[in-house]
Amino acid sequence: MHTQTPLNTPLLNVKNVSWGIGNKTILKKIDLKITTGKFVGLIGPNGAGKSSLLRCLYRFSKPSDGVVEFNNTDIWQLKSDEYAKKVAVVLQETPSQFNLSVFDVIALGLTPHKSLFSSITNIDKQKITQAINTVGLADHSDQSFESLSGGEKQRALIARAIVQQPQLLIMDEPTSHLDVKYQIQVMELAKSLGVTVFASFHDLNLASAMCDELVVIKNGEITHTGAPSEVLTENMLGDVFGVCAQVNNHPQLSKSGNSIPHITYFYGYK
């Protein structure tokens, strides 16, 4: 079986996908390609359909029309654990009052890889330990997951995704409740993993700094795609987000040496 996809062919191919609740159409004929190795950001105003689109990609919602292909296979043709071996997901903070340790939560990443009766091997333990060290939670592995701060929880969930060994990491506004420092920390951590990432962003400047490509969604339709410097224009911000803003260059350059667009918002809409 080929698990390695050649560069530049889409890892994830969304073809003509529509989805809705009852009579209300949320997503309208979405076409989208995610290329292997890219960090792609999804931005759009509240209610535009960001979460709905991502849910169609990780099989929480089944499109009413169109297909989502992963490595040229319809994702609904795959077994659920097969798909979970290829795609990991980090969601917004989920509260849970049950006493799971951080180690237990991170070990959940093994779920799709393990058969019912198998136990954790030493290799698995090494993987988990490595993931815990990567996200910097070594001192907390014995602690209960609930006792972690918001940023630590998201890091633990990223560690769970690392253990899952996916080809694609999907994140739905994973940093929306976090302080600035942790927003940057969590996103840079995701970027450092070297897997293909598709993440929705609340903070446009963070999206601009992190992403290779941006996808803009409004009213269930994709309006813009491209590099941050192409997408983040004053016109787009006015049309899609309804704000008046100025776009300059960030004083820092990106790692690949490109300039990073930086948005300054204007106030006084009343």
Partner 1 sequence: MVTNNMSAVNTRHSLALFVSVAAALFSLFAALSFGAAETSLQDVLNSFLLSNEASFNTRIIFELRMPRTLLAFLAGSGLAISGLILQTVTRNPLADPYLFGISSGASFGVVLLMALAGVSAGFMLSAAALLGSLLAMSLLILIAGRQQSAQVESMLLAGVALSFLFSAFTSLLLYWSDPQAVAAILFWTLGSFARAQWATLWLPLLVITLCTFVMLSFRRQLNAMLLGDESAITLGVRVQRFRILMLVLSSLITAVLVAMCGGIGFVGLMIPHIVRFFISQGTIAGLLVTSLVGGTFMVWVDVLSRSLLKNQELPVGVITAAIGSVFFLSLLFFRKRKV
Binding site for partner 1 (CB under 8 A): 55, 58-60, 79-85, 87-89, 91, 94, 96-101, 103-105, 108-112, 114, 116-117, 125, 129, 132-133, 138-139, 141-142, 144, 164, 170
Report in angstroms how near the CB of residue 120 gets to partner 1 at its nearest.
9
- What does each C-alpha distance from 87 to 70, 78, 130 come to in angstroms? 9, 12, 20
Report in angstroms how near the CB of residue 102 gets to partner 1 at its nearest.
9
Report in angstroms how near the CB of residue 108 gets to partner 1 at its nearest.
5
144 strand-pairing partners? 101
In the three-class reduction of DSSP (H, G, I as helix; E, B as strand; rest coil), residue 168 is classed as strand
The closest alpha carbon to 50, from 174, 181, 166, belongs to 174
Report in angstroms how near the CB of residue 233 gets to partner 1 at its nearest.
34
Q: Which is nearer to partner 1, 17 or 102 (CB)?
A: 102
Return d(Cα 149, Cα 140) in angstroms, integer: 11
Q: Which is nearer to partner 1, 146 or 221 (CB)?
A: 146
The closest alpha carbon to 51, from 241, 217, 240, belongs to 217
Q: Which is nearer to partner 1, 29 or 59 (CB)?
A: 59
Q: Which is nearer to partner 1, 55 or 218 (CB)?
A: 55
Q: Which is nearer to partner 1, 161 or 232 (CB)?
A: 161
In the three-class reduction of DSSP (H, G, I as helix; E, B as strand; rest coil), residue 192 is classed as helix
- What does each C-alpha distance from 236 to 63, 111, 210, 223, 247 come to in angstroms? 28, 42, 19, 9, 11
Report in angstroms how near the CB of residue 152 gets to partner 1 at its nearest.
15
Q: Are 39 and 231 in contact (CB under 8 A)?
A: no
Q: Which is nearer to partner 1, 50 or 218 (CB)?
A: 50
Task: DSSP letter for 40, please.
Answer: E
For residue 204, what is the enclosing H or E element?
helix 204-210
Report in angstroms how near the CB of residue 32 gets to partner 1 at its nearest.
19
